[in-house]
A and B are shown apart, each in its own frame.
Chain A
Amino acid sequence: MFIDFFLILKNNKIPVSIGEYLTLLEALDKDIIDYSVEDFYFLSRSILVKSEEHLDAYDQLFGAYFKGVETISTEDVMNIPEEWLRKNGERFMSPEDMEKIKAMGGLDKLLERVKELLKEQKERHQGGSKWIGTGGTSPFGAYGYNPEGIRIGQDESRHRRAVKVWDKRTFKNLRDDVELETRNMKMALKRLRILSREGVSEEIDLDKTISKTSKNAGMLEIEMVPQKKNTVKVLLLLDIGGSMDDHIELCSQLFSAAKYEFKHLEFFYFHNCLYEFLWKENIRRWDDRVNTLDMFNTFNSDYKVIIVGDASMSPYEIMFKQGAVEHYNEEPGKVWLERLKKNFKDVVWLNPVPEKEWNYVQSIDMIKNIMDNKMFPLTIKGIEEAILALKNTKLDYT
């Protein structure tokens, strides 16, 4: 009965599943709510939407779909011709459709337009280029906004209220600060672990307890050990500014995931290529620097080094002294990268630039060579591969 509405939600990236749809039907079956659209809105929202960032999109779709429905009398419903209610089959949005929507100014715009058209349209329509219907060239038919559902909307004058709950769009704000999707990254980073026992003894050490007890002629002697914890040490070096601005979101996702996952995490920033100094706070990059050599001495070779950067720069910045874009460097970037490699056993480079574009940038290839091919794209799969490279020093990528 609400299949079309369900499909609209699904097509618009609200993660809904069949299970939830069935739950909704069950809820309606049990008469939890009165027969009012507002109650239905509240009920369906709590069943179908699982995260506050989807609430706003849900409000908009609900508004578009149920526009006018709340004032339909039973008589009207009886009079709806059967052909109107005939289902139109499933329509899913293809990537091309998404592009078209974008071209029309995004979902909001599109829905506005649907609303407008709906106001004008009064009867079933097939073919043609403007009205919403089936078989036409109007863009709307193809997007899965099933006209059978929307079109039972009545005249504007019959609306009882000016603003409906869902039209208020109370949750608009929640969209702006959508939590970064870091769960997948955390799961990928989780694989990088070195378990060791540290801290308070909480677990019973069975082997030791047994051997001590038997030595004690059967008198129980309990041995405890600390729990295993991840003690891997990670050094994160992040390229910042310039061409990296395009990838800032991806990098901050990685950063927040890493910060959560690793207890021993150190991080520094650099620009384009590694040189004789790094910094910890980007605002104070000019007056609060850390000498790279000091950094080498501070952190021992146990640290796993992850460099994040697009490696896109002029080849001079890597190969020549005084090649850096921001300052006068005595030694070329290549020398510093070699030193880094020498100082730390495990170094990988994560590159936010999509892998298929790597071939078009000369400097990416150069850095990849310097890094013994241990450069991976900054994707979930790339992170997994990078973690593998960090864990198994013996793996050869050259």
Chain B
Amino acid sequence: MQFTGTENYIASKDLSIAVNAAIQLEKPLLIKGEPGTGKTLLAFEIAKALNKQLYTWHIKSTTTAQQGLYEYDAVSRLRDSQLGDEKINDIANYIVKGKLWEAFEADEQVVLLIDEIDKADIEFPNDLLLELDKMEFYCYETKETIKAKNRPIIIITSNNEKELPDAFLRRCFFHYISFPERETLKEIVNVHYDNLEDELMQRAMDIFYKLRDKRGLKKKPSTSELIDWIKLLLVGKITTQELDEVKNMGTTPPYLGALLKNEQDKEVVVKGY
């Protein structure tokens, strides 16, 4: 069982090794990198490649660690008690399972994505230490210990909005997805558009890299932006001649909005081109 990327996802060698090591040693894998380099996508592709079910847990600023384990719906139970419902005798009826519980409970090994862990409160990662280490937790209401039947493959992504505590990092493998080199990027584009003209691609890449090298950009365009942009070029039937003009005459690239998401960045390019 080795992950080497899929037909839609080019995984570099170092990424594959990191993923395989994390799977074999049953440790969570923490993925960082520029936005748009396919951090979240990785979990989806691992699940697809290894033919496993995927559970995703998207973290928001209000998410607590407990929500990933379970929540006890006391209000419903109180209400049901009024109605004389038989259900109330079993507290388990009012335990709402979280993503971690579901993943632990699965009969087969699953992939669990904890997306954008840095969005949560600063203490959030610390609250999950034991759960990620031992892959078990205790449910106080039903007095049972939930232990993973099969340790799930856990992929955690972070955008670096907050630092993660050391104790948490110790328990993870870490991989930084760096921006792909030209050759790899070509492969990635090819995976998405297999009948792309070589000429067009060449020029699009030239313009793209020139844009990335531009100083003073707040958010450099990355892989996902390039892919969207090429799609627009194809839909808009932009010719290689038109792209040549951009390259040689220094006019503004067509559909610039797909590459740059920031008003000031656009100004930098439009004025500086």
Chain A residues in the interface with B (C-beta under 8 A)? 15, 17, 19-20, 23, 26-27, 30, 32-33, 38-39, 42-43, 45-47, 49-52, 55, 165, 170-171, 174, 179, 181-183, 186-187, 190, 204, 219-220, 222, 260
Distance in angstroms between the alpha carbons of A26 and B24 in the assembled complex:
10
Q: Would you list which residues of chain B between 69 and 116 have a CB under 8 Å from chain A?
A: 74-75, 78-79, 81-82
Decide: A27 and B82 in contact? CB cutoff 8 A: no
Q: How far is the CB of B74 from chain A (nearest CB, A)?
A: 7
Q: Would you list which residues of chain B between 22 and 63 have a CB under 8 Å from chain A?
A: 22, 24-25, 27, 29-30, 32
Q: How far is the CB of B10 from chain A (nearest CB, A)?
A: 16
Q: How far is the CB of B175 from chain A (nearest CB, A)?
A: 5
Looking at the complex, which of B141-149, B166-174, B222-230, B262-270 is the stretch in contact with chain A? Answer: B166-174
**Is B13 at the interface (CB under 8 A from chain A)?**
yes
Decide: B21 and A51 in contact? CB cutoff 8 A: no
Q: Number of B interface residues, CB 8 Å?
A: 33
With a cutoff of 8 Å between Cβ atoms, the chain B residues found around residue A51 in the complex are 169, 174
Q: With A46-B17, A47-B173, A181-B163 as given contacts, are A23 and B27 in contact (CB-CB < 8 Å)? A: yes
Q: With A32-B20, A33-B17, A179-B160 as given contacts, are A55 and B170 in contact (CB-CB < 8 Å)? A: no
Q: With A32-B20, A47-B21, A181-B163 as given contacts, are A187 and B173 in contact (CB-CB < 8 Å)? A: no
Distance in angstroms between the alpha carbons of A20 and B25 in the assembled complex:
12
Q: How far is the CB of B47 from chain A (nearest CB, A)?
A: 20
Chain B residues in the interface with A (C-beta under 8 A)? 13-14, 17-18, 20-22, 24-25, 27, 29-30, 32, 74-75, 78-79, 81-82, 122, 160, 162-163, 165-166, 169-170, 172-176, 178
Decide: B122 and A220 in contact? CB cutoff 8 A: no
Q: How far is the CB of A150 from chain B (nearest CB, A)?
A: 24
Distance in angstroms between the alpha carbons of A46 and B172 in the assembled complex:
9
Decide: A187 and B14 in contact? CB cutoff 8 A: no
With a cutoff of 8 Å between Cβ atoms, the chain B residues found around residue A174 in the complex are 176
- Quick one: which of B22, B165, B174 has the most chain A CB within 10 A? B174
Q: With A26-B25, A30-B25, A171-B176 as given contacts, are A187 and B17 in contact (CB-CB < 8 Å)? A: no
Decide: B17 and A43 in contact? CB cutoff 8 A: yes
With a cutoff of 8 Å between Cβ atoms, the chain B residues found around residue A20 in the complex are 170
Q: How far is the CB of A179 from chain B (nearest CB, A)?
A: 6
**What are 13 A-B residue pairs whose CB atoms fall within 8 Å in the complex?**
A27-B24, A30-B25, A42-B14, A46-B18, A46-B22, A46-B29, A50-B170, A50-B172, A51-B174, A179-B163, A181-B163, A183-B122, A183-B163
With a cutoff of 8 Å between Cβ atoms, the chain B residues found around residue A170 in the complex are 178
Distance in angstroms between the alpha carbons of A47 and B163 in the assembled complex:
18
Decide: A32 and B24 in contact? CB cutoff 8 A: yes
In the complex, the chain B residue whose C-beta lies closest to that of A39 is: B17
With a cutoff of 8 Å between Cβ atoms, the chain A residues found around residue B173 in the complex are 46-47
Q: How far is the CB of A50 from chain B (nearest CB, A)?
A: 4
Q: How far is the CB of A18 from chain B (nearest CB, A)?
A: 10
- Tell me which of A19, A32, A55 contacts B176 (CB under 8 A): A55
Distance in angstroms between the alpha carbons of A20 and B75 in the assembled complex:
45
11 more A-B residue pairs beyond the given contacts A33-B21, A39-B13, A50-B30, with a C-beta to C-beta distance below 8 A: A20-B170, A42-B14, A43-B17, A49-B174, A50-B166, A50-B169, A51-B174, A52-B176, A165-B14, A183-B122, A183-B165
